[in-house]
Structure 1
Amino acid sequence: MQVTPQGRGQAAGNGPKAGRAGRFFRHPEPGGTAGPVWPVFLTFKGCPGRCLFCAQPLQTGRPPRPLSRTLDAMSAGLEAAGRAGRGPYELAFYGGVFTGLPEPWPERFLAEAIRLRERGLVTRVRCSTRPDACDPARLARLAAAGLSLVELGAQTFDDGVLAASGRGHDAAATRRAARAVRAAGLSLGLQLLPGLPGHTPAAFARDAAETAALGPEIVRLYPCLVVAGTPLAALYRAGRYAPWDLGTTLAALAGALPVLWRAGARVARIGLAPQPDFDAAILAGPVHPALGARVRALALCDLVAAEVRALGGPAAGLAAPARFAGQFFGHGRELVPRYQALGLGPGTVRFEDREDFFLAARAV
C-alpha cells in the first residue's frame, strides 16, 4: 500500500492541505498533557442548595466532613507523597463551591497550597465552582493568594434546562463568570452536563459552540446519569424524565469534540470517573466503561470521513500517526464498518512515525 508521502512539516497548522494525489491533515486536538492531580473533595461545602442530578457523596466517594479535617488530610497526604518520592501534583478542589466557602477558608486552603508549592509538592492550584459564586473582587483576591484556574459548572447555556435542573442561575451568569475569571488573570475551565431534563443534542451542539467561544483552557463533559437518591431519580421513576441513550450521547459528544479542540480547549474528561458505590447506584443513563475512548474514536472517524468527502473521489488508503493505532478502529473495532464504507478498511490504513495524516486518492 503506497500511501505514505512524509507530510511532516508540510502541514504546519491543523487545517487540511492538498498534497500529491491526496490530502494532508492533522488531528485538531491541542497538544500537551496534564500532570498528576491531587484531588481535594469539598462535598456540598459552599453549595446554596442541591441540584436535581447531584449525588456528590457517591460521585466523589467522600462524605461531607468539616473543612478543618479536609485541610489536615490534604496536607498530610501531600507530605506523605513527597516523602515517598511522588509528585509534584496539581492541586484541585472538587465538589462543593470553592469560591463560595465561608471566609477565611479559601484563603486558608490556598495558603497551605503555597506552602506545599514552595516545598516542591504542588505545581499549581485549581478549583471548580458555580457561575453565580464568582464575585470579581473575590476572584482577584484568590488569584493573588495563589489560585491558577477556575472551572465553572456551566452544565448548559439553555436557560430552560438550567431552570428545570434547579441550578438557580441562568446562562448569563456563566458568561459573566467567565469574563470575571479572565479579568482576574485566572485560566478558565468549563464543565458541561449534556442530557439534563429538556436538553437536546441540538442544544448541546450550541453549548459546545458557546463554550468554545469563551476560550477555556480545559473542558469536561459529564453526560447526565440517573443516580438513586437524587431528585432526578424520582422524576425518572415517575416517568417524567428519560436520559439520553448511549448512541445519542456518543454522537453528540463526538460532534462537540472538534469544535472544542479547534478553539484550543483540552477536553480533560468525558464521563465520570468510576467509583464502586456510585456505579452501583446508577439507575439509567449513557454508561460505558470506555465512554471517553469511544467518543474520541468516533470523533476521529468523523474527521476522516470529512476529509474523504473533500477528496472528491475514492480513497486508496490512509497513513496515520502511530499514536492513533489503538484508537482508530474504535472500541472492539466497532468502527471498522464505517471505515470500510469510506474505502478505508484495516488493510488500507497504515500507522507510521508521523505527525499528520495522509489520505491518498485512488487513480481514476
Structure 2
Amino acid sequence: MPHPIVFTHPEPPPATTRIWPVFLPFAGCPYRCLYCAQDKQTGRDHVDLGNILRDLETDLEQALAAGRGPYEIAFYGGTFTALPEPWPETFLSMAARFRERGLITRVRCSTRPDCVDPDGLAGLRAQGLDMVELGVQSFDDAALRTSGRGYTGETARAACAMVKEAGLALGIQLLPGLPGDRDGVFADDVRRTAGLAPETVRLYPCLVIRDTPLAALWEQGEYAPWTLSRTRAELAGALLALWAKNVRVIRLGLPPEGTLAEHILDGPWHPALGQSVRGLALAQVIWEKIQLLGKGPSSLDVPRRYQGELLGHADELAEEYAILGFGKGMVRYVDGDEFVLE
C-alpha cells in the first residue's frame, strides 16, 4: 500500500517587518515609459518632494507616539537614485533619525538599472539604504528596445551585480508581455532572475492604460497584451521557479489603487490575480505529488492558512481538482504546516 506523501508549501517564509510605502511618482525619472500610468495609480501627476518629506516626518512622529511599528520604509514610484541633490541624502537622513528611535528598521528604494553606479550605491548604503529594487522589466534586448527602456539586458544584469557588490539587498521587478515580447522571453527572464538570487521579485504583467503611449500603439493595432489565461499560467510557472530558488515573490499584478481600474483599456488585470496565480501554482505542486503517489488520491490534508488559496479565486480550480480525483469531502483543512496526500 502506498505511503502518504507529506510536503510543505514551496513558498519561502514571508518577511516579518511591515512596509511603510512612500510614493514619489515620476520623481527622478528621466522620461516617461510607454506603459507608465503612475498618475492613474497614485492620483498624482507630479510630486513636491518638500511636502512629501514634511508629511512623512509628521506621520512617522505620530506612529512613534502611538507605539506602532517597527517598519521598513520604502521609497517607490520614482527613480530614487536619480533624484536631484540633496534629496536622496535628505530622505535617508530623516529615515536614519527614526531608525535611531526604533521605528524604522530598514530602508529600501526603487530605481532604474541605468541609474545606478558603484560609487553612488556605496554612498547610499553608507547613508542607511539597505535594499534596492531595480525596475529591470526584462533582460531581453529586443523587448527593451521595442519598449523604449533605453538600456540593454547587459545593463540590467550589470546593475543587479552592482547592487549586490555594494552590500545591498536586491529586488527585481519584471514586466512580462512588453512590446517586443516573444514566446520564451518571460521564462528566460525568470531563469536569469532566479540565477541572480534576489531577495524579492515583483511580477507586473503589462497593461494598456488610457493616455499612455502604449495605449496609442494598442489603438493602432501594433500591440496586443497577454490574455488572462496565459498570464495565470506563465506567472504560476514563474512562482514555482523562483520559490525553488528561495526567492520571495512579493507582488503579482498592479494593486487596484487610485483610479487605475477605470483607466485599463486592455490586458490581464484582475483584482484577485495574486490569489488566482498562487492557487494555480499550488495545484501544479499537488498534481506532481499525485504522480509520486502512484494512484488516485483518497484524501488531502491542507494547512488551514491555504484554505483561501487551494481552489483559487471564487473556486475557479474546483473542476481541475475534480479531474485530479478529489471528490466531495476528500479535502480536510488542518492546523500545522504540512500537506498530507493519501
TM-score, normalisation: structure 2 = 0.96
**Distance across 2 between alignment mates of 1:321 and 1:67:** 45
**Residue of structure 1 equivalent to 2:155:** 173
The structural deviation recorded for 1:22 is: 2.9
Calculate percent identity across the aligned residue pairs: 54
**Distance across 2 between alignment mates of 1:228 and 1:34:** 37
**Residue of structure 2 equivalent to 1:6:** none
| Cα distance change, pair 34–224 in 1 and its aligned pair in 2 (3 A) | farther
**Residue of structure 1 equivalent to 2:210:** 228
**Distance across 2 between alignment mates of 1:353 and 1:249:** 32
Q: Does the aligned pair in 2 maintain the 1:41–1:62 contact within 8 Å?
A: no
The structural deviation recorded for 1:224 is: 0.8
1:270 aligns with 2:252: yes
The amino acid that maps onto 2:37 is: A
**Residue of structure 1 equivalent to 2:62:** 80
**Distance across 2 between alignment mates of 1:320 and 1:68:** 50
**Residue of structure 1 equivalent to 2:223:** 241
The amino acid that maps onto 2:36 is: C
Describe how 1:317-356 pairs up with structure 2 within 5 A: 317-356=299-338
Q: Summarize deviations over 1:173-192 as a string: whole Å, max 9, x none.
A: 11111111111111010001
Q: Summarize deviations over 1:8-41 as a string: whole Å, max 9, x none.
A: xxxxxxxxxxx96232222110013343222112
Q: Summarize deviations over 1:300-343 as a string: whole Å, max 9, x none.
A: 00111111123233222222222111211121111111111111
**Distance across 2 between alignment mates of 1:348 and 1:78:** 49
The structural deviation recorded for 1:76 is: 1.6
The amino acid that maps onto 1:320 is: V
Q: Does the aligned pair in 1 maintain the 2:130–2:168 contact within 8 Å?
A: yes
Q: Summarize deviations over 1:25-78 as a string: whole Å, max 9, x none.
A: 221100133432221122212111111101112222333123222222221221
Instruction: Please give the secondary structure, in 2, of the residue aligned with 1:347.
Output: coil
1:45 aligns with 2:27: yes
| Cα distance change, pair 31–257 in 1 and its aligned pair in 2 (3 A) | same
Q: Of the candidates 40, 44, 50, which is equivalent to residue 62 of structure 1?
A: 44
1:109 aligns with 2:105: no
**Distance across 1 between alignment mates of 2:185 and 2:327:** 34
Q: Does the aligned pair in 1 maintain the 2:27–2:79 contact within 8 Å?
A: yes
Describe how 1:1-364 pairs up with structure 2 within 5 A: 21-200=3-182, 202-360=184-342
The structural deviation recorded for 1:207 is: 1.1
Structure 1: stretches of 5+ with no match in the other structure: 1-18
**Distance across 2 between alignment mates of 1:348 and 1:53:** 45
RMSD after superposition: 1.6
**Distance across 2 between alignment mates of 1:135 and 1:348:** 56
**Distance across 1 between alignment mates of 2:183 and 2:295:** 31
Q: Does the aligned pair in 2 maintain the 1:37–1:89 contact within 8 Å?
A: yes
Q: Does the aligned pair in 1 maintain the 2:42–2:258 contact within 8 Å?
A: no
Q: Summarize deviations over 1:246-299 as a string: whole Å, max 9, x none.
A: 111111101110111111111111111112422211111111111100000010
The structural deviation recorded for 1:200 is: 3.9
**Distance across 2 between alignment mates of 1:342 and 1:65:** 52
Say how many residue pairs are matched: 342
**Distance across 2 between alignment mates of 1:291 and 1:345:** 26
Q: Does the aligned pair in 1 maintain the 2:41–2:258 contact within 8 Å?
A: no
| Cα distance change, pair 359–333 in 1 and its aligned pair in 2 (3 A) | same
**Distance across 1 between alignment mates of 2:209 and 2:217:** 11
The structural deviation recorded for 1:149 is: 0.6
Instruction: Please give the secondary structure, in 2, of the residue aligned with 1:327.
Output: helix
Instruction: Please give the secondary structure, in 1, of the residue aligned with 2:259.
Output: helix
TM-score, normalisation: structure 1 = 0.90
The structural deviation recorded for 1:88 is: 2.5
Instruction: Please give the secondary structure, in 1, of the residue aligned with 2:170.
Output: strand
**Distance across 2 between alignment mates of 1:311 and 1:210:** 32
The structural deviation recorded for 1:103 is: 2.3
Structure 2: stretches of 5+ with no match in the other structure: none
